[in-house]
Amino acid sequence: MLGLIKFVQRVPGGSFVTYDVEHYGETQPFWIPDGTVMGTEERRNQSMIPPEYVYKTAKEFQWDIYGENVKLQKQIVNAFTVNFREFERQGRGLYIYSGTKGSGKTMLACCLCNEIIERYGISVKFISVPDFVELIKDKREGSREKTDSIYQTRLLVLDDIGAQTGKQEWIDNALFRLVDYRKREFLPTIFTSNSDAEKLKMDDRTVDRIVSISTDVKIPERSIRREKAAESNRMFIQGLLDAEKA
């Protein structure tokens, strides 16, 4: 891992790239062929972050909307973005969970992805567990490359862990291989879930690894998505009523 890109000099056929390496400083320029160096926008486009969250930042996450003390959660999230290099050195990620659907878990994970892309210029991938299961099943050309990119990305968001359906042993094995690989390679993962990690109905080996490489972030039990939907619907109806009166 070379570190942050400090300077890029583009020339025909490629670029000369200077890196800023922690505890070392700036390197001599490296020759990188065209198509290898990606800018922030390219990394964002390839991250698979859902379109509704692709430009969301940590500042846009409204902690005060929960109406309760979330100081600890905010501190952990801030530490992850500011001290990501240390999290990466330890291969440690976050386990964002809440028993309430629509509480903001996925949005928070995506906000963090965008912060990491902006601050550190590294590869990030987002995929839900059901989508990962479908990807593993897919035998079409290119699916193996997509799977490899999920395994090897510098930061992965594995959304809705525990939401996989079916009792097939191969699903448990596929998830174990992914989590185990990222643990062994010190690649941080952000998990989101509707369940406390200790209560995940999964292979014990996988649960043990998730617990060992994650810092918990407990999101309050409040469905922000439903509240926003209700408010949007109220405003829509009010707009129609006001139009009738005019």
The answer, yes or no, to whether residue 1 has pLDDT greater than 50, is no
pLDDT of 37 reads 45
What distance in Å separates the CA atoms of residue 165 and residue 170, rounded to the nearest whole number? Answer: 12
Tokens 């922000």 map to which residue? 224
Q: Which of the pair, 38 or 222, is modelled with greater confidence?
A: 222
Q: Considering the domain 38-227 in this protein, what is its CATH number?
A: 3.40.50.300
Residue 80's pLDDT band, with cuts at 50, 70 and 90, is: very high
Q: Which of the pair, 6 or 130, is modelled with greater confidence?
A: 130
Winning range, highest mean pLDDT, from 3-7, 56-60, 155-159, 239-243 = 155-159
Q: Cα-flanking dihedrals φ and ψ of residue 153, to 5°?
A: -60, 150
The answer, yes or no, to whether residue 233 has pLDDT greater than 90, is no
Element (H, E) at 218: strand 214-218
Percentage, residues of the chain above pLDDT 90 = 45
pTM as predicted: 0.77
Spans of all domains in the chain: 1-37, 38-227
Query: Which residues sit opposite 18 in a β-bridge?
Result: 7
SS3 86: helix
Q: Cα-flanking dihedrals φ and ψ of residue 132, to 5°?
A: -65, -40
What distance in Å separates the CA atoms of residue 179 and residue 201, rounded to the nearest whole number? Answer: 15
